[in-house]
Each structure stands twice: as structure tokens, then as C-alpha cells.
């Protein structure tokens, strides 16, 4: 059973379920409606409530990574959407480079935003999907450019600069953000 807050009101004529932005479930009911009726109604609506709560949990703050819980449940909840968002954006940002990569993987990492293997596998921290656009794009471009330059040489940064001219500023911002 989903926990909920019951509000009795003389102004309400019907039993109504609302889900707050925090995910809290509130049931409003007229004063005279017996508890047993409310319990049965909430039980009947359980699937609907669960789907609404899940939707709200998906809408995480896009600019506050510290607000995102770092647990495994959160990762399970968001990894598919994160993979979709990050894959699409990687494809877009790679249009000018046309580098080839094997695949993209999202991970629940504590200390890194992204990495790239010599086999062309790009790893992204799933939290990157809810980061501000410029930060997300910078990390994607950074990993893309490692496909060509497996180092942090001047040539590497020149490649990054082609797409992210102000990468130095964004790098500074990224340092101020904590993972998880
Ligand atoms: Zn690097």
C-alpha cells in the first residue's frame, strides 16, 4: 500500500488523489466519507498512483547534481533514459568529427563523469544526463576527442576547442561540482 496523507474537507465533494511535486500522495475526501471507502479507493488507484510517482521521480532537477540521490535504486530508475539522452547527444556532437566508437555505456560512478577506452567504448556517468547542457556537451566532446587523441596533448585540446571554444571555463565549473 502506498503511504498517503489524508485531508478531510467540507469543501470537497468527491475523493481526490493528488501527487505533489515532492512525490507525496495526498488524498482529499469529504468529511462524511468512511475510511473503509477511502482505503478501497486508494487500493484501486494504486497502479495509477505508482505511475504518477515514478514520473515525478524522473523529473529531477537538471542543474543540481547534489540533489540526485546516488543509490543503486536511482541508477536503475534513470539509466535507460540517461543512455538515450547521452547517446543522442553524442551522435549530434560527433557529426562534425565523424569519429567511430564501439558503444556507449552509462555507469553509476562516484568519481568520474566520463572515460574512453582504447577499444572505443565510451563510458558516461549516468548523472551527466541531468547536468546543465554546456557541462554535458563538454564531457561528451572530451570523450569523443579521445577517440582520436588518446592523451591530453595540445592537439587533443585543439580538437575539443572546435566544438567547445570556452572549454576552459566549463572545466573550471565542472571542478566545483561533486559527483553523487
Ligand atoms: Zn581526458
Residue where a domain terminates, one of 22, 39, 58: 58
* pLDDT at residue 85 in the model: 95
- How many domains does one find in the chain? 2
3-state secondary structure of 44: helix
101 and 120 share one domain: yes
Phi, psi of 27 (to 5 degrees): -110, 120
Nearest C-alpha neighbor of 83 from the set 137, 115, 129, 131: 129
The boundaries of the domain holding residue 52 are 5-58
75 and 156 share one domain: yes
User: Residue 57 C-alpha to ligand 1 middle, in angstroms?
Assistant: 32
Tell me the mean pLDDT in the region 158-164. 97
* pLDDT at residue 164 in the model: 97
130 and 50 share one domain: no
160 and 131 share one domain: yes
82 and 15 share one domain: no
User: Residue 143 C-alpha to ligand 1 middle, in angstroms?
Assistant: 6
26 and 84 share one domain: no
H or E segment at 63? none
* pLDDT at residue 44 in the model: 87
Q: Does the pLDDT value for residue 21 go beyond 80?
A: no
Higher per-residue confidence, 112 vs 148? 148
User: Residue 25 C-alpha to ligand 1 middle, in angstroms?
Assistant: 44
Higher per-residue confidence, 51 vs 102? 102
* pTM of this structure: 0.61
72 and 54 share one domain: no
User: Residue 3 C-alpha to ligand 1 middle, in angstroms?
Assistant: 46
* pLDDT at residue 67 in the model: 47
User: Residue 8 C-alpha to ligand 1 middle, in angstroms?
Assistant: 58
How does pLDDT run across 35-61, given as a tens digit for each residue? Answer: 888 888 888 888 888 888 878 777 655
82 and 118 share one domain: yes
Q: Which residues contact 64 (CB under 8 A, 6 or more apart)?
A: none
43 and 22 share one domain: yes
Q: Which residues contact 107 (CB under 8 A, 6 or more apart)?
A: 123, 124, 125, 126
* pLDDT at residue 65 in the model: 45
Q: What percent of the chain has pLDDT over 70?
A: 90
3-state secondary structure of 11: coil
User: Residue 113 C-alpha to ligand 1 middle, in angstroms?
Assistant: 10
* pLDDT at residue 154 in the model: 97
Are 27 and 5 in contact by the 8 Å Cβ rule? The answer is: yes
User: Residue 56 C-alpha to ligand 1 middle, in angstroms?
Assistant: 34
- Its sign, for the CA torsion 175, 57, 29, 13, is positive
50 and 69 share one domain: no
136 and 106 share one domain: yes
User: Residue 154: how many CA atoms within 13 Å on its side-chain side?
Assistant: 0
CATH number of the domain encompassing residue 150: 3.30.2010.10
Q: Does the pLDDT value for residue 68 go beyond 90?
A: no
26 and 88 share one domain: no
- Its sign, for the CA torsion 131, 136, 138, 140, is positive
Amino acid at each position: 500500500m502506498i503511504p498517503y496523507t489524508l485531508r478531510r474537507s467540507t469543501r470537497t465533494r468527491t475523493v481526490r488523489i493528488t501527487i505533489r511535486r515532492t512525490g507525496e500522495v495526498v488524498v482529499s475526501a469529504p468529511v462524511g466519507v468512511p475510511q473503509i471507502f477511502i482505503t478501497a479507493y486508494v487500493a484501486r488507484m494504486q497502479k495509477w498512483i505508482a505511475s504518477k510517482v515514478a514520473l515525478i521521480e524522473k523529473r529531477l532537477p537538471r542543474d543540481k547534481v547534489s540533489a540526485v540521490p546516488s543509490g543503486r535504486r536511482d541508477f536503475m530508475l534513470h539509466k535507460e533514459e540517461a543512455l538515450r539522452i547521452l547517446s543522442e547527444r553524442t551522435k549530434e556532437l560527433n557529426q562534425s568529427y565523424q569519429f567511430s566508437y564501439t558503444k556507449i555505456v552509462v555507469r553509476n560512478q562516484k568519481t568520474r563523469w566520463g572515460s574512453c577506452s582504447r577499444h572505443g567504448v565510451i563510458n558516461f556517468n549516468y548523472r551527466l544526463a541531468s547536468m546543465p547542457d554546456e557541462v554535458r556537451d563538454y564531457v561528451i566532446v572530451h570523450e569523443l576527442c579521445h577517440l582520436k587523441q588518446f592523451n591530453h596533448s595540445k592537439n587533443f585540446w585543439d580538437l575539443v576547442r572546435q566544438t567547445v571554444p570556452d572549454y576552459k571555463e566549463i572545466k573550471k565549473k565542472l571542478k566545483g561540482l561533486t559527483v553523487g
